[in-house]
Amino acid sequence: MRLRDELKGVVPDNLLNLVPSGFDIVGSRSGAVAIVEIPSELEDYKYEIARAIIRSGRNVRTVLRRIGPRGGEYRLYTYERLIGEVTEVIHVESGVRLMLDPIRVFFSPRDQYDRLDLASRVGDGEVIAYLFAGVAPYAFIILKLKPTVRLIYAVDINPDAVRYAEVNVRLNKARGRVIPIEYDAARFCGEMRDSFHRVIMTLPLGAHQYLPDAIRCVMDGGVINFYHTGPEEEPFRDAEAVIRSHCLGMGVECNIMGERIVREYAPRVYKVRVDFKVNKG
């Protein structure tokens, strides 16, 4: 169902092109939350839009309107609640169940293909530091695709995210395999030097500040999955530059193994992932 078609005759013709072409769904058959951006010109029609989303028949019980960009340490949006009360859901992705509340924790269903891609590159027996883990979606997808992985530490400073990650450990029968830790990523790496086959850094706007920490805690020959943003014309330019500069500064050799555009982050800006190997010599 296209919202625009649904709202013909309700929203005036001259505003119809502003009706959002889509919305995010977080949740599953047991109940879902829709997250939508509505421009200010459609203020008078926001509840009609929310009702049209509910009618879309995808078990949406609550509609949230996203206000402004993500912000704060926990990378959260501000929302206006248009319909519904309940915002805690169980999201199902690639056979993994994730309990979360989008108001209290970061989660993006749009990263699902990146999770599958990253998981496909994990090797047998790896011990992984998953920094900036939120409710730990990458950890459970990795475990699902690569059950031979040894251990994944999921580190985040948002206590709500860690609490949900702990619930998700139980939901996905990952006890003893995924270990959520409420801790600062830099401190964690400082205390776990040369310990990990892989360090995953899912914080596109700030991961670069933690690259020295990640390089310290990855073992010789280990891999860092680094997230960053970059302009449409040269999406990997900035990520490669910060990797080069930190590796040089720390006297380690870094070899890029793969690069991937994860998705659009802002107009003409991509979120990217660069995978590189660290040789400490």
Kindly list the residues in this chain that would bind ligand SAM in the complex (CB under 6 A).
Answer: 73-75, 106-107, 111, 132-134, 137-138, 155-158, 161, 184-185, 202-203
Tokens of 214: 């990640």
Residues in a beta bridge with 89: 100
Query: Looking at beta carbons only, is 172 or 202 nearer to ligand SAM?
Result: 202
Query: Looking at beta carbons only, is 138 or 196 nearer to ligand SAM?
Result: 138
Strand, helix or coil for residue 30: coil
CB 170 within 8 A of CB 190: no
CA separation for the pair 243, 147 (Å, rounded):
30
* Nearest residue to 121 via CA among 150, 148, 151, 142: 142
CB of 235 to ligand SAM, least distance (A): 18
CB of 44 to ligand SAM, least distance (A): 33
Query: Looking at beta carbons only, is 16 or 269 nearer to ligand SAM?
Result: 269
CB of 1 to ligand SAM, least distance (A): 28
Query: Looking at beta carbons only, is 57 or 72 nearer to ligand SAM?
Result: 72
CB of 100 to ligand SAM, least distance (A): 9
Residues in a beta bridge with 24: 35
CB 52 within 8 A of CB 42: no
Residues in a beta bridge with 278: 254
Instruction: Report which residue's Cβ sits closest to ligand SAM.
Output: 134
DSSP state of 194: T
Chain Cα centroid distance, residue 27: 15
End-to-end CA distance of the chain: 57
Query: Looking at beta carbons only, is 6 or 156 nearer to ligand SAM?
Result: 156
CB of 149 to ligand SAM, least distance (A): 16
Query: Looking at beta carbons only, is 23 or 153 nearer to ligand SAM?
Result: 153
CB of 12 to ligand SAM, least distance (A): 38
